[in-house]
Amino acid sequence: MTSVAERLHGVQARIDAKVSQLGRSANEVTLVVVTKNHPVDLALQLYNLGCRNFGENRDQEAGPKAAELKKLIGDSEQPNWHFVGQLQSNKAKRVSEYADTVHSVDRPSLLDALVKASELRSKPLDVFLQVNLTDDPNRGGFSPAQFESFAEQVLEANGLRLMGVMAVASLEGQERRDFEVVQTLSQQLQAMNPESKFISAGMSGDYELALEYGATHLRIGTAITGNRTA
Ligand SMILES: *Cc1c(COP(=O)(O)O)cnc(C)c1O
């Protein structure tokens, strides 16, 4: 049995090795540890191991967990919460109260709700545009063809900072093709706005490959947390 600490250090070592092999700089990569389906104790344990970025995909779970961790940490530096799952517009306000980053902006109605919610925040909400790399319209994300016009809308929106592109690789075996699409979209986006240069891609099974294609925000769950308890 490996411990959370061992798994975290193992993942960090693999990220460091890959980054240096690629000639990239380690400080351009953010490790978001996805704590979904795990209790707040695990988030606290990870916090004590130095993690400051946590990912969640359901508001019902994330809201209480973020509030509990905040209490447990007290006056120490607060972590950043990243919302990575499909988000209903009617939850936008709640999520924007504890999350600093929403990785899953995928449609105009959600954009409108987030703009409205961001009016109540003291600092802008960071957002990624999620692209759908499958043929299934029910999966989160918009199609690469809609990308530019949607990006323009986000860039014009108040209260939001467009960080870049987010994607989940579609099928095992197609990760290279998928990450290539993401990298191309990221270049298009940077031509529109150089600051929107970040790429949220890479999970437990494919983060090293994602780094080859320029990923800056890795969303890693089970490789660090172990199997889900719920
Ligand atoms: C659960 C989840 C992850 C983490 O997945 P693992 O395979 O456990 O690393 C990353 N991104 C999203 C959108 C998720 O829902």
For position 171, what pLDDT does the model report? 82
pLDDT in tens, 115-126: 999 999 999 999
Cα 16 to ligand 1 centroid, rounded to whole Å: 20
- Residue 7 confidence (pLDDT) above 60: yes
Asked if 218 contacts 31 with a C-beta cutoff of 8 angstroms, the reply is: yes
User: How many CB atoms within 10 Å of residue 182?
Assistant: 24
Query: Cα(3) to centroid of ligand 1, in Å?
Result: 20
Residue 230 has pLDDT above 80, yes or no: no
pLDDT tens digits for range 181-199: 999 999 999 999 999 999 9
Q: What percent of the chain shows pLDDT beyond 70?
A: 98
The DSSP symbol for 55 reads: E
Model confidence at 50: pLDDT above 70: yes
Q: In angstroms, what is the span from residue 222 Cα to ligand 1's centroid?
A: 8
pLDDT at residue 228, rounded to an integer: 63
Q: What are the pLDDT digits (tens) for 59-113?
A: 999 999 999 999 999 999 999 999 999 999 999 999 999 999 999 999 999 999 9
Residue to substitute in 84, 101, 225 for testing ligand 1 pocket (most ligand atoms within 8 angstroms of CB):
84
DSSP 182: H
